[in-house]
Amino acid sequence: MKKLLYGTTALATMGIVAGIAADASAAERLKLGLGGYHQQWVVFSNQDIDGLEPNNYNSVDQKHNSEVCFIGETTLDNNLTFGVNVQLEANTDGDQIDESFMYVSSPTMGRLILGDENNAGYLTHVTAPDGGVSLDSGDLLNIEAFVIPVVSVFDTAVGTTYLRFFDNDSGKITYLTPRFGGFQVGASYIPNFEAGGDDNSSLRSCARCNGFSNGWAGGANYTADLGGVGLQASAGAMWGDAGPGADTDNLFAWSLGGQASVAGFSAGFGFAKGEQGRGGDSGAAIGGTNQINSTGWTVGAAYEIGPYKVGVDYMRGVGNPNTVGAADTSGRQRLDQAVLSGTYTLGPGIRLVGGVFWFDGESEGNTVENDGYGVATGFKIGF
C-alpha cells in the first residue's frame, strides 16, 4: 500500500509539474546558489563566576558563528515565485540544519511558507537598533561571549523579545499578506513545537519535541516614511497546547516592538512576555528549569553615517516560574546586558565590528551567578 500511495503521489506530482511547465514554458528551472554569513570574533572578558576562580576560564577567547545557505527561486509566467532555502551550520552543531523551507509568493497574493522556519510573530517583529554588536537574541549570546548563568535564554524572554518559546524552527504553515498601506499581517500553524531541520514527527512525545503542539502564532507590523521620519512597529502573539500532564497550563506569549529613524539616527525597543500560569516550567522537555513565565525588554539607539555606525543598547530579561498568584521568586532567572558598539563597513558584505559590553546574571534555583565586562571585536561577512 505504501508503494502504491507513493506511486500515486509521484504521478500526481508529475502531472502538476507538467501542467505548470506547460503554462510557464518560458520560466527557468529553479537553480540553487550559495548565500549566508561568516563571523569570526576575538573576545576579552573579566567574569565573576560564582564558585570559580579567575584562572578557571580563558580571559581571551576566539568565537565563531557562521551558516551556509542554499537558496534559489524562479518566477513563472503566471507571476508566482517559487523558492527554497536550506540553512547549514558552518561548524559542527547538534542542529546541523535548522531552517529548511520552501515558499510561494506573488506581489498581490503574499507569501506562503512551508517547512522549518520561524513563525509569523517572529518574522514580523521589530526590535531596537544596534551599533554592530547586538543583544536581542544577538551576538553576545550567540557566540557565548560570557558564561551564561541562566538555563534558558532563547526559549524564554530572558534573552530575546522574539517569539520563539520552544518553537525552534518547527515544521509549520505560515502565510504573510502583501503590504497594504504600510501594514503586513501573518499567521502560522505549528503542529508540534520541535527542533527544526529533520523529519517532523506527529508524536507529541518525540525525542526532539518540546512539550507543546497544535500551536499558532500571529504578527503584524507597520512601516512608513513620514516626511523623512521612518517608522516601524510590530505586535505578535503565540499559543501552544501543553497537552496532558501534571501541569496542563498552555503556553501564551506576546510581543511588541517599535523603531523610529531620521537623518541617520534611529532608536527603538522590543518587549516580550511569556505566560503559562502558575508553575510555568512543566513538561518533559521543559524539565522544571526553562521558564515560560518570563519578561524581556530592550532599548537602543544608533547613528549611521557613510561606512560608520555606532550604537548603545540595554536589555533585561527575568524568568520566574511562580509569577501568577504567588510572590515566590525561587528559581528566578535574570540577565542584564549592555553594549556600546560600532561598525566600519570595509566593502560590500564585509563589516568590522567591535564593542564594550557589561552583563549581570543569576539563576537562583541553581545558585549560579555571573557578572562582569568585556570587549568583543570581529568580522561579519555576508555572501
The CA–CA distances, whole Å, from 278 to 167, 241, 249 equal 21, 16, 8
- Residues 69 and 84 sit within 8 Å (Cβ to Cβ): no
Phi, psi (deg, nearest 5) at residue 6: -65, -45
CA torsion sign for 151, 61, 45, 142 is: negative
> Can you tell me the distance from the alpha carbon of 60 to that of 79, in angstroms, rounded to the nearest whole number?
53
Q: What CATH number is given to the structural domain containing 228? A: 2.40.160.10
Specify if 9 maps to a domain: no
pLDDT of residue 92: 73
* Structural domains of the chain, count: 1
pLDDT of residue 55: 65
Specify if 10 maps to a domain: no
Specify if 111 maps to a domain: yes
pTM of the model: 0.85
> Can you tell me the distance from the alpha carbon of 33 to that of 83, in angstroms, rounded to the nearest whole number?
11
Identify which of 210, 366, 335 has the alpha carbon closest to the alpha carbon of residue 282.
Answer: 210
The CA–CA distances, whole Å, from 200 to 8, 204, 206, 243 equal 22, 11, 9, 18
pLDDT of residue 271: 98
Specify if 3 maps to a domain: no
pLDDT of residue 7: 40
Specify if 23 maps to a domain: no
- Residues 182 and 216 sit within 8 Å (Cβ to Cβ): no
pLDDT of residue 331: 60
User: Could you state, in chain order, the average pLDDT of each consecutive group of 10 residues for the chain (383 residues)?
Assistant: 36 38 58 92 92 75 93 92 92 78 94 95 97 95 89 86 90 96 96 74 64 91 94 96 68 96 97 74 38 90 97 93 46 89 96 97 77 96 93
Specify if 29 maps to a domain: no
Beta bridge pairs of residue 351: 345, 380
> Can you tell me the distance from the alpha carbon of 158 to that of 323, in angstroms, rounded to the nearest whole number?
14
| DSSP 3-state percent helix, strand, coil across the chain (nearest 5) | 10, 50, 40
> Can you tell me the distance from the alpha carbon of 247 to that of 321, in angstroms, rounded to the nearest whole number?
12
Specify if 11 maps to a domain: no
> Can you tell me the distance from the alpha carbon of 317 to that of 136, in angstroms, rounded to the nearest whole number?
10
Beta bridge pairs of residue 90: none
Specify if 155 maps to a domain: yes
Range of the domain at 276: 37-382
